[in-house]
Structure 1
């Protein structure tokens, strides 16, 4: 008696991107190849080129899927102040990026493949312009906070690729010992390479305060 094999789900862009994101935590960005993804999907690598012309096109789709998942987990309130909106959006972005090994590197510089992001962007810009920002000021304020978050997480994941994981060479006590002749620099290691959550939150408040001071919007 033979057992019929269950039909495979059709190969489409979302299935490929979902598989790539699942593999990312195992391989990291540098080890994520179309060949490895094809093997996981049990197809030949050329089959992926029907959907993505190259790895960057796949990264664009992965970033788009990361955005969809992030947006689904952030609850925005039309009554938010512009400061609270920046906090919510950028905390949510950091959390989303930290869910994947090299998540910030995948997201940085990628181009969204659809218009999923447009509604959120429109709502944010409306909130900022209603608060007294000009459109250009609103764009610079939101994009500066975004760039801070992306850059912060790239540095954070350079030390801690995933929560609870730490690369060699970032032992704070060993660093302090090596820099013993430079006491302030030695002590600074505990601020730079530890307690990233507090570090991020403080930095975001500095960005928000700077935006308010620059544009005179309270």
Structure 2
């Protein structure tokens, strides 16, 4: 079977899940696909282009059917759902947050943002505020997922003096304990942060 872009992206996503974004390279993909590296350049000219194609595939899993906000739906509720879908799409892959955040020319991400801004505009939010709310929520979601998918270094954690840290940062620790001791989860933390941006009650 002749090699095509879809096959390359499929293999890249498999490699991503196995080894993380730092191990994804055209050279490694060529090896796995049993071809010479220059053969891939007919379909994907460099790693940046590959990342973009991978991001498109990741995003399409959640946004292939994205509809604008319905006239009877609160824009805050609709937008909360959009960014929960974005988080879910990125979390479905190892380093998915880094892939999507690093795909600066993603048409799928641009379509999501266009639909988001238009949906706020039709709800009576100004163009400036619509863009700022959507952009800030996007950046928050990227950062939240990237942090979720970047565990602490095991060696550094072994040497970390948690007891001294808690003594030096009592207010910070009190806030963390108050939140999670009440039964909140990482999902709650994401949505509570998002609500501050989207201004929902």
Give yes or no for TM over 0.5: yes
TM-score by length of 2: 0.81
Question: Which runs of no fewer than 5 residues in structure 1 stay unpaired?
Answer: 1-7, 160-165, 213-217
More displaced stretch, 73-82 vs 143-152: 73-82
1:56 aligns with 2:63: no
Work out whether residues 69 and 75 of structure 2, in 8 Å CA contact, stay in contact via their aligned partners in 1: no
SS at match of 2:150: helix
TM-score normalized by structure 1?
A: 0.75
Q: Secondary structure at the match of 1:50?
A: coil
Q: Does 1:204 align with 2:191?
A: no
| Correspondence for 2:163 among 177, 200, 204 | 177
1:27 aligns with 2:19: yes
Aligned position for 1:136: 128
Query: Which residue of structure 2 aligns with residue 151 of structure 1?
Result: 143
The reply on whether 1:82 has 2:75 as its aligned counterpart is yes
CA deviations on 1:118-169 (whole Å, 9 max, x unpaired) are 655444333211111222321111111111100111111112xxxxxx7526
Cα offset, 1:42, TM superposition: 2.1
CA pair 156-62 structure 1, distance change in 2 beyond 3 A: same
In 2, the alpha carbon distance for the partners of 1:15 and 1:27 equals 18
Conserved 8 A contact 1:175-1:189: no
C-alpha distance 154-120 of structure 1, shift in aligned 2 (>3 A): closer
Which of 47, 63, 69 aligns to 1:71? It is 63
Query: How far off its partner does 1:30 sit?
Result: 0.8
Give 1:14 deviation, angstroms. Answer: 2.0
Task: Quote the residue 2:7 is aligned against.
Answer: 15
Structure 2 match to 1:45: 37
1:112 is displaced (CA, Å) by 4.0
Alignment size in residue pairs: 193
Instruction: Structure 2: state its 5+ residue gaps.
Output: none
- Which one scores higher on RCO, CA 8 angstroms, separation ≥ 6? 2
> 1:92 deviation in Å?
0.5
Counterpart check, 1:95 vs 2:61: no
